[in-house]
Structure 1
Amino acid sequence: MMVENQARSVRQRQSGGRASSRTVVLPLVILVIFMDMTVYSLVIPVLPSYIRLLGADAVMIGIIFGMYSAMMFLFSVPMGMLSDRVGRRPVLLAGMVLLAVSTVVFGFATTVSSLIAARIIQGISAAATWSAGLALLADTYDRTELGEKMGVTMSAMGVGMVIGPVAGGYLYEHVGYALTFVVPSVAAGLVAFMILILPLGLHPPPSRRSAALLPESGRLHLALYAAAVVAVAATYGIIEPYLPVYLADSFASSPVVVGLVLGLLALVGVVAQPFAGRLSDRYGGHILVTVGLSLSGIALALVMAMPDLLLVAVAVSLMGITLSLALIPTMPLIADLYRGEGAQGIAFGIYNTFFSVGLAVGPFAGALLTGLLLPRTLFLFHAAFLAVTGVFGFFMLRNAHFRRGGRSAGSSEGLTTPPEDAPRI
């Protein structure tokens, strides 16, 4: 009887620990992602003018801003692998500490080289927090609910992107350059303290072996999911610099109007992403990803076809929905490929790497093609690319599904949902 009581007590404590960690993990990861994106976008209205005061030109402005994505590309997979080896908490903590440090360096930078160093540190911080944070969600939630949690978390990214520039401009005008960065550095330090003290669940021993970079099965699926992530990220990468040019040329839109249209895209995405994740949990993500890509191509073509600005805004809002449908389901799908291998850090390191590739490819491809094409033609080419990618992905995934005997990637060997009493990281 005593042994049974002790066993029951252990199970209750484990169950209580899991419930406690589930209560803590989602808000904490949301806060981490929100903090990262707020600081990332906070510099947008502030740095260009300050960099010019230091004697730098437009090329140097581009280099400084591009360092963030470059560091995300280089460090996402290593940080994910590190979180698989040592646990999520140390990597998350290091990411927030680095974010606080980079923000202080921004605030007290007096040379262009120190600004570059600050942006490099900020990019490494993002690689750590995004890879470990999303992996922590995948550790905590199974495939029946992970899509919705990922959608809610990505909504925090959108909110941070909206709040950051507003906060940066306001602080810069009212408290000056240095304090504009000191304030968020203190906030990042507080988040780091929360990561240190809050319960994140049960911790298995660190892995003694390095997991393979690619999953043992489902590599074709991974390639298709990665292509979808790159396509969506490239769409955002093209829209941000070139849609304002199109709107100004075609409708004589003022900067305020352009900002409202882009803000509408972000706002609709914030609302649509949890919904897209919930659909993914309920119906599976393969169809949503491919249909979302094709619908995004149609929506982008509609943006170019609309004869007045109001209809353009409606079509842009539609893109906020379709891009969410294409992107959010890829996250639980990629997590599922690595679920049986104890390598969620690698999974989301790969996700972040391909997203950063898309963000870089979009503007660079646009820069190369704008010398040959009008912005409208550029967008129509990209719309066709999205639609074709969606259709191609649909047939490739369907063929792979049939070759596996009617099973999806998530139901293949080694990819089953872990039992409820599996340890959490």
Structure 2
Amino acid sequence: MRRVHVLNFIRTMAVTTVAFLAPLRFLELGFDGAGIGVIVALFASAPMVFSFPTGWLNDRVSMKAVMGAALLAMSALFAALGFIRGVAPMAAAFLLLGVANNAFNVSINSLYFKDRAETDPNRKYGRYVGWLSLGPPAGLLMGSFVARVAGFRTLLAVMAVLCLGAAAAVRGLGEERFAAVSLRDYRFSVFNRRTLLFSAFLVLLALHWGTELTVYGPFLKTRLGLSDSGVSLYMAGAYLALAGAAFLVGRLKFDPVRNRRLFLAGMTLSGLGLILMTVGDVRLSFLFRFLHEGGDGLMGAFVILTMSRLFGTATIGGSAGLLMALQTTGHMAGSLLFSWLGFRAGLQVPMIVAGAVLLANAAFGLYALPKE
């Protein structure tokens, strides 16, 4: 499944780089906090509507066809974004980008969930999250250089070409597996106490993502005084902790009790790091952001691993898609809330509030996380 890792690397590199650097572009275009919040919320909202239909298609029809179409759409949208200057058309473009990114994400997850070549879940999903997490730092470093030398529009063109090449590589993926699945099967799979508690836990977890595409970049630029290149270096360096933590999970043998403890420890580290990164010294801020991303890496690996254990192979595409849709409500709510809060109360305030929510959610996780 090496090709899966390469495709995920390219996709996360392109989408995350553009999404993280876009708020700086929005400020240059004169967008206010409310406008930026709407754009990011629409980008984040796509899984609410499209995750389950995409997962159902994955379970019954195709995964590779959806992935190829999604990459082609992302390529076209990246090329178009460089020519958009208004809030409304930018919001529409980011909504479509969110739909395409979600379609690819759900489909490649389904393909990987259904592959049974690797028997140890920690090794399988730690590597999976680790490789996709290397895309953002690589993209941010490259993106910073390209944007500085040739401009943001050229950066978008580069990402468009990369997605186009990735679309051509989808056909080389392995055999797809399907089964006859009814909607009733999904009802029994998802609507039970254990899964619903985990869903609520995921919604609260996702709230803090609302800071990342709204106030994170502006905070680094205005509060810490970093240049655009400095912002990219800060983000990329901290993101390496996320990939490293996920690869660490992949080196541990599967142990449900230890995994659960590490999941909650990762959430605690993430919350503390997010709060403490608001200190005024850039070196200390980076250290605590690195801690936050390491916690996120542990959480990312164990979220995917837990989903793989909750559902059967036949229904995992649609069932995991439903959980992603529920999780998106947290991401979308966080985008609207933290963008509004940050541009009114101070850009550091959303980080502190979101970190506190993560700490509270770690306590809730003692009850909500499945014990097996």
* Same fold by TM-score greater than 0.5: yes
Residue of structure 2 in register with 1:287 after alignment = 261
Partner of 1:254: 225
Displacement of 1:131 in angstroms is: 0.3
Asked whether 1:79 is paired with 2:54, we answer yes
Please, what is the CA RMSD of the aligned residues? 3.8
CA distance in 1 between partners of 2:91 and 2:274 (Å): 35
Larger Rg: 1
Amino acid at match of 2:260: H
Residues 223-268 of structure 1: per-residue CA shift (max 9 Å, x gap): 333334333332243366556677788xx62214655444333121
The Cα offsets for residues 4-58 of structure 1, whole Å up to 9 and x where unpaired, read as xxxxxxxxxxxxxxxxxxxxx2x222233223223324445478658977xx744
Which structure's relative contact order is higher, taking Cα pairs within 8 Å and 6+ residues apart?
2
- For residues 107-166 of structure 1, the C-alpha deviation after alignment (integer angstroms, 9 at most, x for no partner) is 566877665554333222111110010111111137843343333333344333233344
Distance 1:274 1:364 in 2: 32
- Cα distance, 1:281–1:358 mapped onto 2, change above 3 Å: farther
Unaligned runs of 5+ in 2: none
Match of 1:392 in 2: 364
Cα distance in structure 2, aligned partners of 1:241 and 1:117: 17
The correspondence of residues 89-128 of structure 1 with structure 2, limited to 5 A, is 89-106=64-81, 115-128=90-103
Distance 1:186 1:180 in 2: 10
The separation in 1 between residues aligned to 2:83 and 2:266, in whole angstroms, is 44
2:303 equivalent in structure 1? 330
Normalised to the residue count of structure 2, the TM-score between the two structures is 0.79
What secondary structure is seen at the aligned counterpart in 2 of 1:255? coil
Q: Distance in 2 between matches of 1:77 and 1:390?
A: 27
Per the alignment, residue 219 of structure 1 pairs with 192
Cross-structure match for 2:3 = 28
**1:295-334 pair list within 5 angstroms:** 295-303=269-277, 309-334=282-307
Q: In the aligned structure 2, how far is the partner of 1:354 from the partner of 1:88?
A: 21
In the alignment, structure 1 residue 39 sits paired with structure 2 residue 10: no
Following the alignment from structure 2 to structure 1, what is the Cα–Cα distance between the partners of residues 356 and 157? Answer: 45
**Residues 150 and 123 (structure 1 numbering): CA distance in 2 closer, same or farther, change over 3 Å?**
same
Secondary structure of 2:182's partner?
A: coil
Runs of 5+ unmatched residues, structure 1: 1-24, 402-407, 409-425
Structure 1 equivalent of residue 333 of structure 2: 361
Q: 1:395 to 1:36 in 2, by over 3 A?
A: same
Rate the CA distance shift 1:280–1:266 in 2: closer, same or farther, 3 A: farther
1:288–1:227 CA distance, 2 compared to 1 (3 A):
farther
Select 2:242's aligned residue among 246, 253, 269: 269
Say if 1:48 and 1:61, in contact at 8 Å, map to a contact too.
no
Q: 1:273 & 1:62 partners in 2: Cα distance?
A: 29
Q: Does the CA-based 8 Å contact 1:32-1:129 persist in structure 2? A: no
Q: Contact between 1:42 and 1:165, CA under 8 Å: does it hold in 2?
A: yes
Could you tell me which residue of structure 2 aligns to residue 12 of structure 1? none
TM-score scaled by length of structure 1: 0.71
Q: Aligned residue for 2:170?
A: 195
